[in-house]
Chain A
């Protein structure tokens, strides 16, 4: 949908360019501001990358050992015996929590988007939208508190396990945190499907369910996928809530009922108290670099997926 819009916008912009002299000054100023805004995001990303590289460089050059960093589960920067920087357990924790939270949030979020957009009455729709957007306004520390005080005992009693702060808990919290994003972006994608599609399908005798699954789902596919991937980004980057909900424990979880630890939470917990410029500080920036690459891969594959489908 969005691509089509830009395609039609391109010739118009070209026309403007040819008639540059006739363009009023105020318009040119606004154009410049918009262009600067667009450029600033690129500059910002590059600046962040340079900053992370600069801070982690001494570690990467002097201390970095590929097999220790990526294949060891021992992250022990304050050891009195042997200091180790192994992020395998943290990497596994991040991936597990992200994947499981998306298994919960994507079906739930998209189903919710379908319901709000297609099946419920207009009055109810407004109520639901406000309620769901309210979920997005809850600060992540509060989610962490909910994880410890409410979901932790609930998991202990329901599943009869020794500890309720675990991968499952963090996945539930993250799913709840990314739901509002998935629902509102997904709902927008469904709303963007022209009314004529629905009318045509209903005119041919399709039921509401058939309209939703056979017409709207293919038509809004890209938008829905974007909604899901935005959710993944949200889940990958969350810090405080997962710090509290995962249990922040350095080990590879053997089941979803075992505690784990994520990359982001490790940075959040340790950066503030590690001396600036020290080895530990630099190692934390190396983790930041790993996260940067991870989110870059997610975005790139999202882009590829959506474009691939288009062709």
Chain B
């Protein structure tokens, strides 16, 4: 919806001044908020360049790039080898990859919770459909002070949130649902507020939202592996298990204006917007 408005806005503005260059930017729904925030800020940086952002999913963006209808494709997954070959065949140009940011999800609990970390398997046992962990004592015999019945209160997000979908995929894979009956709140902010006030609760959100009043867990890939806390550093070096890179792709060496935009997205100014939007900034390449 927002991207549609933005498109209309751009169409309106280009009828007034025809010398505006429009860069087409399409793809991942996870990235769409960040891409829009950047596009809006970029208007102030270069008023003569307009970025038209639309979503549709990573696959849509990559397909459009292969067909040559967009300048930049957003993707929350790396392009597959076949896709790269197809793009080369169609356009005669090698695809260029830019890592524009990271998406890391923190799992957090009330500060009174004595646990400091969980393995992915344990998180799946708590959140996954058919998972049997309903009480804290089923997880390493934990007793949470102030939590009546030691019951696990699962805090989740509404089912069409991008955070929800990424969490589900990262913890349960592509073929398993989250257990129904969780508290499906409407924003990361609310999740944090609720967990802060509820000793029994566990929740998840983008790392950027974590406050001092909740305890963010370190996560183990398997039971015996090292427990990795969610920090900018562990998200960037990909050691944190629930994090992924967010990409932008261009066809061949980008044109001057596209290149300038891609360079700007790596700038400190743009990366500040990244953090503000709840993502993890990319490491400089």
Q: Which of B147, B153, B158, B180 contacts A270 (CB 8 A)?
A: B158
Does A160 have its Cβ within 8 Å of any Cβ on chain B?
A: yes
Does B237 have its Cβ within 8 Å of any Cβ on chain A?
A: no
Q: A162-B147, A250-B181 are in contact. List 13 more A-B contacts (CB 8 A).
A: A75-B180, A76-B159, A76-B177, A80-B174, A80-B175, A156-B146, A156-B198, A163-B183, A163-B200, A248-B183, A249-B181, A249-B183, A269-B158
Residues of A within 8 A of B159 (CB): 76-78, 270
Does A306 have its Cβ within 8 Å of any Cβ on chain B?
A: no
Does more than half of chain A's interface fall in helix, strand or loop, or is it mixed?
loop
In the complex the two chains form, what is the Cα distance from A269 to B194 in whole Å? 17
25 residue pairs A–B, Cβ–Cβ below 8 Å: A74-B180, A76-B159, A77-B160, A80-B168, A80-B174, A80-B175, A80-B176, A80-B177, A149-B197, A160-B148, A161-B148, A162-B147, A163-B151, A163-B200, A163-B201, A165-B183, A165-B194, A243-B186, A244-B190, A248-B186, A249-B181, A250-B180, A251-B180, A272-B1, A274-B160
In the complex the two chains form, what is the Cα distance from A161 to B148 in whole Å? 5
Contact B158 A156 (CB under 8 A): no
In the complex the two chains form, what is the Cα distance from A152 to B164 in whole Å? 24
The range of chain B's interface size is 20 to 34
In the complex the two chains form, what is the Cα distance from A273 to B2 in whole Å? 11
Which of B1, B147, B190 is the most central at the interface, judged by chain A CB atoms within 10 Å of its CB?
B190
Which residues of A, 147-196, contact B by the 8 Å Cβ criterion?
148-149, 152-153, 156, 160-165
A-to-B contact residues, CB < 8 Å: 73-81, 145, 148-149, 152-153, 156, 160-165, 243-244, 247-251, 259, 261, 268-270, 272-274, 280
Which residues of B, 5-26, contact A by the 8 Å Cβ criterion?
none
In the complex the two chains form, what is the Cα distance from A74 to B186 in whole Å? 19
The closest CB in chain B to the CB of A243 belongs to B186
In the complex the two chains form, what is the Cα distance from A267 to B184 in whole Å? 13
Residues of A within 8 A of B180 (CB): 73-76, 250-251
Contact A248 B185 (CB under 8 A): yes
Residues of B within 8 A of A161 (CB): 148
Contact A269 B148 (CB under 8 A): no
Contact A81 B177 (CB under 8 A): yes
CB-defined interface of B153-192 with A at 8 Å, one 1/0 digit per residue? Answer: 1000011110011001000001111001111111000100
